[in-house]
Amino acid sequence: MVLKFSFFGYQGREKIIGKINKTIEVHRQNGASIEGNGVLGRLLEEESLPDDAVADFIINLLFAGNETTTKTMLFAVYFLTQCPRAMKQLLVYITTILDIFSLYVYLVHKTLSFGDFRDFYI
């Protein structure tokens, strides 16, 4: 969904999309030989996304704006579902963090009880 806040803003967006599409065309003509493929190269080589979705993703990375966080999170979830190795690494990381947090909560609860504070006066 494209929000047209102003005619000039929309023209600017169209100009940027044109440059991204030109870069996509050059990338496809030259193949993977472009040095430093980066995000655009990875999107084109590893995903089967239409060009307008790729351009929208690149714009969202470049400029903070309408629903940027939502779209970025959506793409992160999408890419994780497409890359089992990354998903496994993330799950190991999250599990480790949760284990450490659970241990912390257990230790705090075990070592501090209400009885430790009942003789304190405020």
pLDDT band at 3 (very low <50, low <70, confident <90, very high): very low
Shared domain check, 88 and 51: no
pTM of the full structure:
0.42
Question: Is 45 among the domain residues?
Answer: yes
Distance CA 53, CA 48 (A): 10
Average pLDDT of the chain? 76
Each residue's pLDDT tens digit, 60-94? 777 765 566 777 788 888 888 888 888 899 899 99
Q: Is position 11 within any domain? A: yes
C-alpha distance across the termini of the chain, in Å: 57
- The residue segments making up the domain with residue 109 are 83-113
Token output for 71: 């779209």
> 32 and 75 share a domain?
yes
When divided into structural domains, the chain yields a total of 2
Same domain, 71 and 91: no
